Amino acid sequence: MLLRSATRLALARRTLAVPPICAHGPATQLQQQQKSAVLHCVPLLGRSIFTSRRVGWTNRAEWLTPVALVSSVAVAATLAFVGYGMFFGPGSLYPAPVRKLLREGGMSYMRPADKQDLPKAVECYSQALDLLDQLGASDPKHAPDAPHVTGLVARIAAVYTAMGDLDGAIRAYTDLLRRILGDAGMSDARTQVAQLLDRDLPADKRQNILRALGSANMLAEAHEARAARSKRRSILLADPDVEAGDVKEASRWYQWCLQVVMLTYQNHFNHLQLEKGQPLVNTPSFDPSTLPGYFSLEVVSSLFYNAATFFAGHGQFEYAVPLLQRGLDLLRRGTDGKEAGVCRSSVLMSHLANAAVLTGDLPAAERWAIEGLALAKQFPANTDCRCSYAALAYNLGAVYEAAGKNESARVQYRQTIEVARAIDDAGAEALATTALDRLAR
């Protein structure tokens, strides 16, 4: 294993209860390693989360540690992936019968949510795809991997996702990846790395690889969400194997995406090093100025975040923490001073503090919490900053409580409650209230 929206800082997760601030999408449960009460919400394509997990400290206490993520950070990078996933190409590429079906599908799908007819959209788009595949059997212009064909497959997957039909979304994304990558590319990410590094690669081929990257990330999320759904049902059905299979597939596709990005970046970076006459680097830090032009900061940081929170949800912090740190490299910890960068950095730091608390690294947890709080305080009206502030204050309170600094812990828990009330997050307020009650005994 080499390695979950940053403008899309996203992630999918689990709920025994969902705080109002996160009530945007289907809730999921992915924590495998620990019995825990978890507060989460999951928009499928761009996750928001508030988690709390139970972890022991030196046999003397247990802490509930929340991490707040908010849905607003999901928008821009979701659009970046959608840019790859929903591009149809010039209308002239499509025969008249296909254009008619695309118009009908669009009129059913591209409407306000209360007026959408998603089943009709799937029907129209699927009929259009069938026609294109029939034409593609004899006309290379409509080959299965032609960008205007794979764009239609991605649109079908997006509609299934909007419907909450995870089975349909998984089928569509898998079909799209098979069309673009073939069996060899699906099993070995290095085949795509070699193509991306080819400066003479035709634009349509590069576009398809980037579409595959975005779709593979969304396929991983869909498997992750279905695993969570299966987990809840398995309580009644006693069928945990379904979940295990989906978790395995989610891990596979997160790793595939990460290998493409990490290996491509490393080779691209070292090529720049050679041009400058500087030594090669095995693990370069991610710098926005050295990203290949076809990798956007939003997409890469979103991918790091998605994968990191997936691994953290399974207790694999040795993979999650480096990814979160690389995300901070890209954001430069908000050093540009702009609100979005500052608050996204504070969100990432809340996860790093949480990971440190859960793994018992109190000095690191304190460092991340203090640094993150300093950022979050800069924009107190920003929802991302306020949510991360609540999580960071709680984590810092847990650090102080574990160190026996009970009065300092109380200060942090009270601040958590104050912010939680301001953002109408009853779950965070309840956790901090419980912690204060514990210290009063």
Question: For residues 87 and 284, which has the higher predicted lDDT (pLDDT)?
Answer: 284
The C-alpha atoms of residue 30 and residue 13 are separated, in whole angstroms, by 6
Retrieve residue 136's tokens.
Answer: 């593609």
**Pick from 79-88, 250-259, 316-325, 349-358: least confident:** 79-88
Give pLDDT, residue 21. Answer: 27
Give pLDDT, residue 58. Answer: 27
Give the contacts of 28 (CB within 8 A, at least 6 positions apart).
12, 13, 14, 15, 40, 42, 224, 225, 227, 228, 229, 231
Mean pLDDT taken over the chain: 79
State the alpha helices, DSSP H only, in 277-361.
297-313, 317-331, 339-358
Say whether pLDDT at 43 is over 60: no
Give pLDDT, residue 92. Answer: 76
What is the pLDDT confidence band of residue 24, given thresholds at 50, 70 and 90? Answer: very low
What is the pLDDT confidence band of residue 439, given thresholds at 50, 70 and 90? Answer: very high
Exposed, middle or buried, 59 (CB in 10 Å: 0-12/13-18/19+)? exposed
Q: Count of alpha carbons within 13 Å of 89, Cβ hemisphere only?
A: 21
Q: Coil, strand, or helix at residue 63?
A: strand
Give pLDDT, residue 233. Answer: 53
The C-alpha atoms of residue 233 and residue 342 are separated, in whole angstroms, by 39
- Element containing residue 374 per DSSP (H, E): helix 362-376
**Pick from 332-341, 396-405, 417-426: least confident:** 332-341
Say whether pLDDT at 60 is over 60: no
What is the pLDDT confidence band of residue 88, given thresholds at 50, 70 and 90? Answer: low
Q: Coil, strand, or helix at residue 67?
A: strand
Determine the straight-line distance between the first and last CA of the chain, rounded to whole angstroms.
45
pLDDT tens, residue by residue, 149-165: 999 999 999 999 999 99
Report the 10 Å Cβ neighbour count for 28. Answer: 28
What is the pLDDT confidence band of residue 65, given thresholds at 50, 70 and 90? Answer: low
**% pLDDT > 90, the chain:** 65
Delineate the domains of the chain, giving CATH numbers in brackets: 20-75+320-440 (1.25.40), 76-281 (no CATH)
The C-alpha atoms of residue 336 and residue 349 are separated, in whole angstroms, by 16
Give pLDDT, residue 50. Answer: 27
Q: Are 157 and 85 in contact (CB under 8 A)?
A: yes
Average pLDDT over residues 269-276: 92
**% pLDDT > 70, the chain:** 76
Retrieve residue 407's tokens.
Answer: 């009065």
Q: What angle do helix axes 240-276 and 297-313 make, rounded to 10 degrees?
A: 140
Average pLDDT over residues 61-81: 37
What is the pLDDT confidence band of residue 410, given thresholds at 50, 70 and 90? Answer: very high
Chain centroid, CA 351 distance in Å:
13
Look up residue 282 and give its DSSP letter: S
Say whether pLDDT at 236 is over 60: no
pLDDT tens, residue by residue, 290-340: 999 999 888 899 899 999 999 998 889 999 999 999 999 998 888 888 999
Say which residue the tokens 């901070």 belong to.
Answer: 328
Give pLDDT, residue 90. Answer: 62
Exposed, middle or buried, 441 (CB in 10 Å: 0-12/13-18/19+)? exposed
Say which residue the tokens 């085949």 belong to.
Answer: 191
Average pLDDT over residues 41-70: 32
pTM: 0.77
